[in-house]
Structure 1
Amino acid sequence: MNFSFVSGDVVRAGGTLLVIPLFDGDLGDSAPAPLIAADKALEGQLRAAASQEGFKGKADQTLVLHTLGKLETARVVLLGLGARARFTPEVLRQAAGRVAKTAQKLKVTELTFTLPSTEASEATVRAIVEGLLLGAYRFDRYKTSGKEEKNAPRLNTVRLALPEGTSKSRELEAAVKLGQRVAEATNWARDLVNEPPNVVNPERLAEAAQEVAKETGIKATIGGRREIERLNMGMFLGVAQGSANEPRLIHLAYVPKNAKDAKRAPVALVGKAITFDSGGLSLKPADSMIEMKTDMAGSAAVMAAMRVIGEIKPPFPVHAFIGACENMPSGTAYRPGDILTSRAGKTVEITNTDAEGRLVLGDILTWACEHKPAAVIDLATLTGACVVALGNYIVGAFGEHDTTVQGVLEAARTAGEEMWRMPVTDLQKDALRSEVADMKNAGERWGGAINAALFLKEFVGDTPWVHLDIAGPSTSPKERGYFNKGATGVGVRTLVEYVRARAATQESQPEPETAAPVKPAKGAKAGKGKSARG
């Protein structure tokens, strides 16, 4: 999709669609200039049609009107943004997503999108770009019918109409490029999550990591069972042992070329990567298993974020750590009652093989923290309990290091991803107490999301850590704004914003922090370039 800036009379801007975003109340005497110009050209019929159709500019309202040749554009789209006082860029991002879907239905290839305020901001421009690209996303590669629909014209040209008195700038052009990078990376993650589990297995995830490395020039180190055994990741191996598909250990590393920056403490990103979760011997019900191809959404988000991070080049290292495997029932599968020994040396009694994600994450978090990061953030479709608590659109954020947690929450607000801080309290610790091992992997039903976070906490030590439970928001149950039904790519925008904000802070620091050297697993290949969860 190509974006450009235009100024002047929007009625003459051209394109198949002219999009005019409006706040609640903008149809009155204080109507914005684009609406006044379009309504005048249509001899007052635009506002009259809006009144007849009940369009008032409320959030989620959209009105499409044919211009019957009276404008250079074939149709005008009035786009409701809701109350001006409650406006955020995410409102515009969602609205732009609706425009993209409207354009798909009308089979148009170009449009002009007027900015909704008298002041063009980078956040506003970026929201429009991201919303249009995310809203235009489709996953239909496996459909053999409806070829005409699949080959239909797609939106490829967008003119961003600047308010009167403003002109394009380097900052606005940079916002367009960043929005494109982030949205394209998010759609890439959505593809990975939407793919069937017979396509995206641990080996395919490793190949995706190598593609990221080749595209961005960062380093990819891929290990197999031998490397996992050498690292004494007993919990990871336990989960992986029931599947015919071999596990993969994935490490992506962006390191600045500047020697001083390269010595700074890194940011570590960890993604859950269960490419299919049957529940193991604690088998899930059939209906609950259908969506379990999405149990690797955390790893997809982490790798997608690394695609952008490798291009924006922050002044400190960023590492991604992923343990990919399947959780399958078989004669070799791990069992309830087994005791596994983690890389950290802690022993874990298995009480539920469907609580597998935390086991793999525990070993991977231990490994990540050995690189002495300034902060570690994990993304995981971890618990159905978090979906019960927060629903389908809000991420649960856990962590005790207030500065790091607040940094992630602020990044989420900037990115337009909804997150809510949840408690990590020792009041629930008894739920994980074992009579025969240091701890057990699953406790009582109550406080399930907190119990899972407490389990992970055992493997991060004193490292500032944030756990994001994305079990609900990793997929959308319906079409909404820029969402389709299916994978959302949640977390990509937040991770990118967190790194960008940290970069803005650290660029002013004269002396770098010291980080431990990165040592790839011996023998590993290097290259450049909604149900209960576990």
Structure 2
Amino acid sequence: MTISIIRQPLATVDAPWVAAGIFDKDGGPASDLRGSAVEALVVRLLEEKEIKGSAGETIALHEPVGFRTRALLLAGLGAKARFDARAAYTAGVALAKRLASKPREKVGVSLAAVLEAGDPALVSSLVEGVCVGMQGPGLHKTEPNRHPFEVVLIAPEGTTDEALADLERLAARGGIVGQAVNLARMLANTPPSEKPPVVLAEVIRKAAEEHGVDVQVWNEARIREERFGGLLGVAAGSAEPPAFVTLEYLNGGDAPVVALVGKGVTFDSGGLSLKPSASMEDMKSDMTGAAVVVASILAAARLRLPINVKGYVALTENMTGGRAMKLGDVLTMRNGKTVEVLNTDAEGRLILADALSYAAEAGPARMLDLATLTGACLVALGPKIAGLFSNDDGFARDLADSSRKVGERLWQMPLDDDFKEALKSSVADLKNVGGRWGGAITAARFLQEFTADVPWAHLDIAGPSWVDAEGAARDAGGTGCFVRTLTAYLEAAAAVDGVARD
């Protein structure tokens, strides 16, 4: 996808399709539609409730009077007073998804409404959404159902040269972040037979090297040498060997290091604690945490952020082969702690335990893991909100601030010490599951045992990582959630030249 920006009146733009934002009935059409024949039509449609102007709504007007374009797509933005990054992103996805349904060489997208809202940074959110809307999940469709097009952003005629340069920078950022989201989505949507751990590791290696990120891939022998008992235990039931990938983007000089850790179960059958068939249908996406870590580090590299970031990605299948770990087995993890396995479908925490232990040994200033970890978090917070757990209030606040900035949703959950009681084992240091209650919390409390008191946060993204049903502003399948949050967090951390702060 190519993105360019022009500065001229909307009515004079010569493009087959032009998209322009409209707010709800209280905000109405943006400035570039006012005074035109279209303004009166939009106002009437809003008043008569034929359209609502809600975020994600689109309506096409063909041969609009007074415009050079052959078709004008009105993209709903919601309430003007509450217009934010989530609304801008949603509108971008919806308009791009609508227009990419057929081959189109070029589409103009007006920025007037976004700029009227008062925050030019929302231009990036709009472009991110446009990028995501142009890529669907149909990786193996014989006929493509999404057709990328050239995007021409239209700034109002009176935009100054300095402001135009800022818009160009924001548009370029949006393109990079949107492509990173699409990378995470593509990896999650790839069929499991096409991304066994070793193959996925090589995909990551090639992508990292292409963008100047140092990368190492460990094979099974190296993993055994490094004492990753959790990763080896989970992998034992699969014919496919595990892999462990480390990534380093060190562009921050003497600034502290941020460590990102991702769960990468490329298919999760549940192991001997076998999942029902219906519960396996989306388990190709159980490596979304790993995909988000990789995509976020590549985005930081492409943005040339002055920051030091290290990534750690544990990759395996969780299968039911003859050598699969059994209930009652005891695993010795990287940091020496022993874990009694009482549910083989609680495997993500086992591989993260090794990865977190290894990452903590390097002494990062902060350490964040992302994982599609528990169905319990989905029960607690629903399908659109991630659970945030942390041993550091300042870190948690910074992540929450970044998520709000980009319009993604998380909610901090408790991490009290009494939840550790549920993890006591009679034969080992820990067991890998607690009781019936607070499953997302006990899982996080388990992970905390492997953080070596490094400032740490855990995002349980089981809910927002996957969408079952298609909508006007979303695709079924992997969402690439929290790439946008992590990128914003790394940008903020780079701006203050360090992240170890209260």
Of 464-473 and 423-432, the range deviating more from structure 2: 423-432
Equivalent of 2:71, from 69, 72, 75? 75
**What are the Cα deviations for residues 127-166 of structure 1, in whole angstroms up to 9, with x where unaligned?**
121111111111323123xx3x55x754223232336454
Q: Is the 8 A contact 1:58 1:83 kept in 2?
A: yes
| Structure 1 runs not aligned, ≥5 long | 514-534
Q: Is the 8 A contact 2:400 2:410 kept in 1?
A: yes
Distance in 2, Cα, partners of 1:359 & 1:341: 10
Distance in 2, Cα, partners of 1:451 & 1:306: 29
Distance in 2, Cα, partners of 1:402 & 1:361: 22
Aligned length: 498
Q: Which residue of structure 2 aligns with residue 220 of structure 1? A: 215
State the SS of the aligned residue for 1:242: coil
Cα gap change, 1:410 to 1:286, in 2 (>3 Å) = same
Distance in 1, Cα, partners of 2:209 & 2:297: 12
- Structure 1: which amino acid aligns with 2:372? T
**What are the Cα deviations for residues 387-440 of structure 1, in whole angstroms up to 9, with x where unaligned?**
111111111110020111111111111222111111111222221111111110
Cα gap change, 1:171 to 1:159, in 2 (>3 Å) = closer
Distance in 1, Cα, partners of 2:167 & 2:153: 13
**What are the Cα deviations for residues 11-30 of structure 1, in whole angstroms up to 9, with x where unaligned?**
111212232212223576xx
Q: Which residue of structure 2 aligns with residue 284 of structure 1? A: 275
How do residues 479-498 of structure 1 correspond to structure 2 at under 5 angstroms?
Answer: 479-480=470-471, 482-498=473-489
Mapped pair 1:123 → 2:121: yes
How do residues 415-430 of structure 1 correspond to structure 2 at under 5 angstroms?
Answer: 415-430=406-421
Mapped pair 1:305 → 2:296: yes
Cα gap change, 1:43 to 1:180, in 2 (>3 Å) = closer
Deviation at 1:457, TM superposition (A): 0.3
Q: Is the 8 A contact 2:403 2:410 kept in 1?
A: yes
Q: Is the 8 A contact 1:134 1:482 kept in 2?
A: no
Q: Is the 8 A contact 1:100 1:136 kept in 2?
A: yes
Cα gap change, 1:262 to 1:153, in 2 (>3 Å) = closer
Distance in 2, Cα, partners of 1:358 & 1:16: 51
Distance in 2, Cα, partners of 1:153 & 1:222: 35
Q: Which residue of structure 1 aligns with residue 20 of structure 2? A: 20
Q: Which residue of structure 2 aligns with residue 194 of structure 1? A: 189
Q: Is the 8 A contact 2:250 2:308 kept in 1?
A: yes
Q: Which residue of structure 2 aligns with residue 93 of structure 1? A: 89
**What are the Cα deviations for residues 162-216 of structure 1, in whole angstroms up to 9, with x where unaligned?**
3645454332211111111111111111111101110011012211221122211
Q: Is the 8 A contact 2:101 2:147 kept in 1?
A: no
Cα gap change, 1:315 to 1:9, in 2 (>3 Å) = closer
Q: Which residue of structure 1 aligns with residue 153 of structure 2? A: 159
Mapped pair 1:356 → 2:347: yes
Distance in 2, Cα, partners of 1:33 & 1:296: 44
Deviation at 1:71, TM superposition (A): 2.4
State the SS of the aligned residue for 1:442: coil
- Structure 1: which amino acid aligns with 2:311? A
Q: Is the 8 A contact 1:269 1:321 kept in 2?
A: yes
Equivalent of 1:108, from 80, 83, 104? 104
How do residues 212-291 of structure 1 correspond to structure 2 at under 5 angstroms?
Answer: 212-256=207-251, 261-291=252-282
Q: Which residue of structure 2 aligns with residue 519 of structure 1? A: none
Mapped pair 1:404 → 2:395: yes
Q: Is the 8 A contact 1:265 1:373 kept in 2?
A: yes
- Structure 2: which amino acid aligns with 1:332? R
| Superposed CA RMSD | 2.3
Distance in 2, Cα, partners of 1:153 & 1:322: 32
Q: Which residue of structure 1 aligns with residue 366 of structure 2? A: 375
Equivalent of 2:57, from 42, 57, 61? 61
Q: Is the 8 A contact 1:5 1:160 kept in 2?
A: yes
- Structure 1: which amino acid aligns with 2:201? A
State the SS of the aligned residue for 2:322: coil
**What are the Cα deviations for residues 361-382 of structure 1, in whole angstroms up to 9, with x where unaligned?**
0011000000100000100000
- Structure 2: which amino acid aligns with 1:158? V
Of 201-210 and 4-13, the range deviating more from structure 2: 4-13
Deviation at 1:308, TM superposition (A): 1.2
Of 99-108 and 157-166, the range deviating more from structure 2: 157-166
Q: Which residue of structure 2 aligns with residue 10 of structure 1? A: 10
Q: Is the 8 A contact 2:255 2:497 kept in 1?
A: no
Distance in 1, Cα, partners of 2:55 & 2:39: 26
Cα gap change, 1:11 to 1:169, in 2 (>3 Å) = closer
Distance in 2, Cα, partners of 1:52 & 1:141: 41
- Structure 2: which amino acid aligns with 1:299? A
Deviation at 1:119, TM superposition (A): 6.8
Higher relative contact order (CA 8 A, sep 6+): 1
Deviation at 1:496, TM superposition (A): 1.1
- Structure 1: which amino acid aligns with 2:3? F
Of 289-298 and 474-483, the range deviating more from structure 2: 474-483
Q: Is the 8 A contact 2:261 2:293 kept in 1?
A: yes
| Structure 2 runs not aligned, ≥5 long | none
Of 493-502 and 50-59, the range deviating more from structure 2: 50-59
State the SS of the aligned residue for 2:262: strand
State the SS of the aligned residue for 1:506: coil
